[in-house]
């Protein structure tokens, strides 16, 4: 399963603590759950769920 959003690099909370932030997704909160293992493509903004918990 893949989710696509926008990877942002501007001045945001994620950048302040040192990791990329994804915004503007349509269904990430329904698909991703606490503890899921994911992989994020920083060029395209795609997230692949590696393992659902």
Domain residues of the chain, as ranges? Answer: 1-31
Per-residue pLDDT at 31: 85
Pairwise CA distance, residues 42 & 52, whole Å: 21
Q: Within 13 Å of residue 5, how many CA atoms lie on the same side as its CB?
A: 16
Question: Quick one: DSSP state of residue 51?
Answer: E
* pLDDT, average across residues 20-40: 82
Pairwise CA distance, residues 28 & 5, whole Å: 9
Please report which confidence band the pLDDT of residue 53 belongs to, taking 50, 70 and 90 as the band edges.
confident
**Is residue 30 predicted with pLDDT exceeding 80?**
yes
Q: Within 13 Å of residue 47, how many CA atoms lie on the same side as its CB?
A: 23
Per-residue pLDDT at 44: 82
């Amino acid at each position: 399963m893949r989710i696509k959003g926008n990877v942002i690099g501007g001045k945001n909370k994620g950048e302040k603590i040192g990791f990329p932030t994804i915004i503007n997704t349509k269904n990430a909160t329904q698909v991703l759950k606490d503890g899921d293992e994911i992989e994020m493509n920083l060029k395209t903004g795609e997230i692949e769920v590696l393992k659902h918990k």
